[in-house]
Amino acid sequence: MKQKISEAILRLAGWRVDKNLPALDRYVLIAYPHTSNWDFVLGMLAKWTLQLPLNWVAKHSIFRGPLRPLLIAMGGVPLNRQKSSGFIEKNIELFAQRDKFILGLMPEGTRSKTRRWKTGFYHIAKGADVPIALGYLDYKHKVIGISRLIYPSGDIHRDFEQIKAFYADKRGYRPENQSDLRIDDHRDNAA
């Protein structure tokens, strides 16, 4: 029921869902661009449409108050970026413990324009020996989905060139807020 309702809402809003999901039970899903609060709404509708058992990461401050239990039930995982918490290592361990685990991250880390992406998604995927699935919200063409898989080689800069090429034509709700498609590989900037 939730699947059909979500798909109908997206269709009424003019959105199409790319349903070519990876045939895998374990991967890190990144989504770009992230420029608006609408990204969350569209992302949840797509998650339900695709019946995707996704755990998604967001800043801890949205998990306060009465919404906390609901957001966690929806697969939310709070992250306090102000404190070092071993986030990368904890998620590598979760992948090792579970036969099925999909972890969703927005590597920009914010809806505002930033100079670079955070690289925690890459280090988690590499450490857990799982691929990175490239999810997208393309407001220009009103398509949301998950497309390509990247298997981390260990050369983050070479792998990121493939990621950068894939996202080059994707447009956010506020294109001026799209973060630059670049990385600095510093683990302290990872999560």
The domains of the chain are located at 2-175
Q: Is the pLDDT of residue 100 over 70?
A: yes
Mean pLDDT of the chain: 85
CA distances (Å), 33 to each of 85, 106, 163, in order? 26, 8, 12
Q: Is the pLDDT of residue 81 over 80?
A: no
Q: Is the pLDDT of residue 94 over 80?
A: yes
7-39 pLDDT, tens digit each: 999 999 999 999 888 889 999 999 988 888 898
CA distances (Å), 179 to each of 3, 73, 141, in order? 31, 29, 19
Strands 54-59 and 16-18: unpaired
pTM exceeds 0.95, yes or no: no
Which two tokens mark 55?
């755990």
